[in-house]
Amino acid sequence: MSPPHLEYIFRPQSIAVVGASTDPMRWFINEFYIEPLLKMGYQGKIYPINPRGGEIVGLPVYRRLRDVPGPVDHVISCIPARETPQVLDECAEVGARIFQLYTAGFAETGEPEGVELQRRLLEIARRHNIRILGPNCMGIYCPSTKVSFCINYPLEGGPVGLIAQSGSNATYIIRSAVVRGLRFSKAVSYGNACDINECDLLDYLADDPETKVIAAYIEGTADGERLRKVLARAASLKPIVVYKGGYTSGGARAASSHTGALAGSDAAWDGLLKQVGAIKVHSVDEMVDMLVALLRMVPPRGFNACAVGNGGGASLLATDEMERVGFRLPPIPPDIRECFKGLVPLAGSMLRNPIDAAPLMGIEQVRLLDRAGDLSRWEEALQEMRFPRGDKGMGDFMAALEDWPELDFLILHYSIDSLPGIIREWAIATGAGPMIMAGKGRRLPAATVIHFIANEDSWRPSLKTQQLCIEAGFPLFLSMRGAARAIRRLIDFDRTHPGMLTGIRGNEA
């Protein structure tokens, strides 16, 4: 099979950064377009361009594009808008195929000069047969070819293909997804979309074998009819999650002044996305929750859930959030209840569903610390622990839940800031850890929810606990409301798209 159209924009042979600068106030340009390439280990040539010459992070700076001593494939513009047409002419001279513009100040300003400048740029590009990405965009993150615009994005790739019309939202979405254990095949911030647009990119991702799920943050389109066709084709091949920014009338005006997008009415988008079978979301959190569910959770067969966690209050809130979306927490059958009674003291626990497993966590914590011998060894001891049937602890507990025939899935939750004691990393992780490790690899679909407030005390223990969930292979959610909503939509999606999710999970990094 031939590589999908546009593949070459993700595989630049060499990259020139026009406007790279040694000025400390312009250093951010190097931080976006040079340092990330070095960090990722980009194999092509990197050419900083600045009329002053000199050196940037050890690379020689060329005064003009045409001074570069070799072929230039991909040119990134970080200079003022009025200077870009001339650079585009130079791009043609050196044989560049892509002109990507971080530069803003075009149609999105709403000013006639900006609109005209963008029109002129496109005209020049067409004449030279050069494709434009942007203007007013951050560009490309592609781990497999080691291209990135942010030094902190992961080196390793994954199954999510993202397009985002806004650079800041692209960044926000990627960072939000990364902390949840997701990784990307490609992410493109495409800005004003004067040439390469959402249709081109979605078409590409539909055929991209690295991309298992597509996520799109779109502010508007210039060609609704083509978008409908492209989306319909993409959605017939892969799950696609769409966040339409600017869905209120003020938001639509803002979209126009942000990327010059023709926003369209919310109702029109709603209809379009429903028709093609895309999943519509209304916030970055909702988008990331949905990606987590699609990529990391086996769709439950039905709506019967059991919630297991620490604290009666947290359990109660979990129940409300789950029943809100139509799940049911059925009462625990008498035989399983009897089994639980043998494991934990009755006080402080709830032998109904939701289950406040705090007393059982306490017992396992003591076992774990006994095994570790020394507090400093808790992580090692946790990794070594096994939870077989007959262990009079978490193993029996989880096995009993697996024996519950009506149960469709499990929610394991842990609320860090509900604990009135001192919040210590080892205490949190040894409290939640055995539940997470004992729940790992079970027959029942399961999700984890870790609640926390980012304060001095809890943020680091919470990161550790989140990490345990991710490493154990669970879908990780940061709110019960988000988890419930995403799991509900996962089930609905699976029912309307039978078989599409098979083979998707397990492909994540």
Element (H, E) at 502: none
Partnered with residue 304 across adjacent β-strands are 328
φ and ψ at residue 298, rounded to 5 degrees: -70, 130
- Of the candidates 133, 423, 429, 472, which one interacts with a copy of itself according to CB under 8 A? 423
How near is the Cβ of 423 to a copy of itself at its closest, in Å? 8
Residues 378-407 contacting a copy of itself, CB under 8 A:
none
Contact call for residue 509 and a copy of itself (CB under 8 A)? no
> Strand 59-60 to strand 55-56: parallel, antiparallel, or no bridges (unpaired)?
antiparallel
Stretch that binds a copy of itself, among 42-50, 241-249, 272-280, 392-400 (CB under 8 A): 241-249
Residues 202-221 contacting a copy of itself, CB under 8 A:
217, 219
Q: CA-CA distance, 134 to 76, in Å (whole number)?
A: 10
How near is the Cβ of 81 to a copy of itself at its closest, in Å? 6
Contact call for residue 452 and a copy of itself (CB under 8 A)? yes
> Are 253 and 280 spatial neighbours (Cβ–Cβ below 8 Å)?
no
How near is the Cβ of 215 to a copy of itself at its closest, in Å? 14
Q: CA-CA distance, 192 to 199, in Å (whole number)?
A: 13
Query: Which of 120/352 has CB closer to a copy of itself?
Result: 352
How near is the Cβ of 142 to a copy of itself at its closest, in Å? 15
Residues 84-143 contacting a copy of itself, CB under 8 A:
103-105, 108-111, 114, 136, 138
How near is the Cβ of 499 to a copy of itself at its closest, in Å? 32
How near is the Cβ of 283 to a copy of itself at its closest, in Å? 7
Query: Which of 83/93 has CB closer to a copy of itself?
Result: 83
How near is the Cβ of 426 to a copy of itself at its closest, in Å? 13
Query: Which of 72/216 has CB closer to a copy of itself?
Result: 216
How near is the Cβ of 498 to a copy of itself at its closest, in Å? 29
Residues 143-162 contacting a copy of itself, CB under 8 A:
149-152
For residue 135, is the peptide bond before it cis, meaning its omega torsion is within 30 degrees of 0? yes
Query: Which of 12/431 has CB closer to a copy of itself?
Result: 431
Residue 445 tokens, joined: 């679909």
Residues 249-308 contacting a copy of itself, CB under 8 A:
249-251, 253-255, 257-259, 282-284
Residues 467-506 contacting a copy of itself, CB under 8 A:
481
Buried b (16+ CB within 10 A) or exposed e, 301-317: eebbbbbbbbbeebbeb
- The dihedral formed by the CA atoms of 70, 75, 78 and 260, expressed in degrees to the nearest 10: 170
Residues 42-81 contacting a copy of itself, CB under 8 A:
80-81
Cβ count within 10 A of residue 12: 26
Q: Residue 302 carries which DSSP code?
A: S
> Are 145 and 184 spatial neighbours (Cβ–Cβ below 8 Å)?
no
For residue 40, the number of C-alpha atoms closer than 13 Å in the C-beta half-sphere is 29
In which residue are the tokens 């100040």 written?
105
Q: Which amino acid is at 199?
A: C
The footprint of a copy of itself on this chain (CB under 8 A) covers a number of residues equal to: 98
Stretch that binds a copy of itself, among 26-34, 42-50, 54-62, 234-242 (CB under 8 A): 26-34
- Of the candidates 21, 100, 145, 169, which one interacts with a copy of itself according to CB under 8 A? 169
- Of the candidates 319, 430, 448, 465, which one interacts with a copy of itself according to CB under 8 A? 319
Residue 482 tokens, joined: 């988000």
How near is the Cβ of 502 to a copy of itself at its closest, in Å? 31
How near is the Cβ of 67 to a copy of itself at its closest, in Å? 26
> Are 174 and 188 spatial neighbours (Cβ–Cβ below 8 Å)?
no
Q: Of the candidates 313, 428, 438, 458, which has an alpha carbon nearest to the alpha carbon of residue 383?
A: 438
Contact call for residue 425 and a copy of itself (CB under 8 A)? no
Buried b (16+ CB within 10 A) or exposed e, 80-110: ebeebeebbebbeebebbbbbbbbbbbbbbe
Class of residue 369 by CB neighbours under 10 A (exposed 0-12, middle 13-18, buried 19+): middle
